Amino acid sequence: MLDEVLRAADVQAGERVVDATFGNGGYSEAFLQAGAGEVVGLDRDPSVRSRADELADQYDSRFRLVETPFSEMDQHDLPLADVIVFDIGVSSMQIDRAERGFSFQKDGPLDMRMSRSGPTARDAVMKLSESELETVFRVYGEERQARRAAARIVEARQDAEIATTAELVDVIESVIPRSGKIHPATRIFQALRIFVNDELGELYRGLCAAERLLAPGGRLVVVTFHSLEDRIAKQFLRDRAGEFEGGSRYAPAVTQTGPAASFRLPRRSVVKPSRAEEQSNPRARSAKLRMAIRTDAPAHEQDPDWTPAKRALPTLAAIA
């Protein structure tokens, strides 16, 4: 959704841009070509360094990489930004490398870590209890067969270690039948990836950090790829814009009492990829873009007890 992101970001000559999810640098390079005065790329994956060095050499002092989770973007003495862009989810360069363990279509170690540190997906599969696995699969993967999958994994790991993506796929296929075009391992792998990287918590904290780092009039652009991410972005922006859920074209959203609105929403509907892009890039089909403009009101307080679900979720500490 490069064209849609560029239109929403509306980068002007000399502006400061934070590419919160650097990845392979596609957005960062586009912002530089659009005339940004400075682009800061953020990424917690050290494997992006070589690509970042290429951009730094090509664009001299206008680009730099900060190796950090985007939830900590406001902790690196960065100047206030005019634009902050998030493209949430696993990047193609991670999916396509079997040794990273993100894809059920490529055999490799059951890893899935974006930062290369901390517990792996193998640790989750081997150490979480049956009920914890079920909760992870049901909440993060929205998997209807979560209970059956969790029970089968616990049964299988008593006989042998589940250490590779292929071994986990075999276990899942033995209990979840194929339904249409969706592979039975799709949602299980998604759930494990989200859990291992705390992606939903990272998204919420990242949006809070962006709120603190954006200058008044600055644009926030968020591209998500599945309903859990979009739900968080949607609720965050509506809360910060002072709106309750429930507004529609027939009845405007109710103004919320409390802190002054720190964002305004130029549009409440999402932007989706063009049909041409969906056809040329199947991974873009589920993408949704939301954007907001920072007001001059103070940032809201970050909820220390925020959780993506009403039910208790296992933490990484359980498998550390």
Helix, strand, coil share of the chain (percent; to 5): 45, 15, 40
Q: What is the pLDDT of residue 14?
A: 96
pLDDT in tens, 46-58: 889 999 999 999 9
Name 83's bridge partners. Answer: 17, 219
CATH numbers and ranges of domains, the chain: 93-197+311-318 (1.10.150.170)
CA distance 27 to 163: 35
Dump pLDDT digits (tens) for 292-314.
999 999 999 999 888 887 778 88
pLDDT in tens, 239-254: 999 985 544 444 455 5
Strands 38-43 and 16-19: parallel
In whole angstroms, give the CA distance from residue 56 to residue 75: 22
**37 or 315, greater pLDDT:** 37
Backbone φ, ψ for residue 80 (5° rounding):
-55, 140
Task: From 319, 320, 317, 315, select the one nearest 136 (Cα to Cα).
Answer: 315
Q: Which segment of 6-10, 203-207, 270-274 scores lowest on mean pLDDT?
A: 270-274
The confidence score (pLDDT) of residue 272 equals 92
Mean pLDDT of the region 200-207:
96
What is the number of other CB atoms lying within 10 angstroms of the CB of residue 183? 17
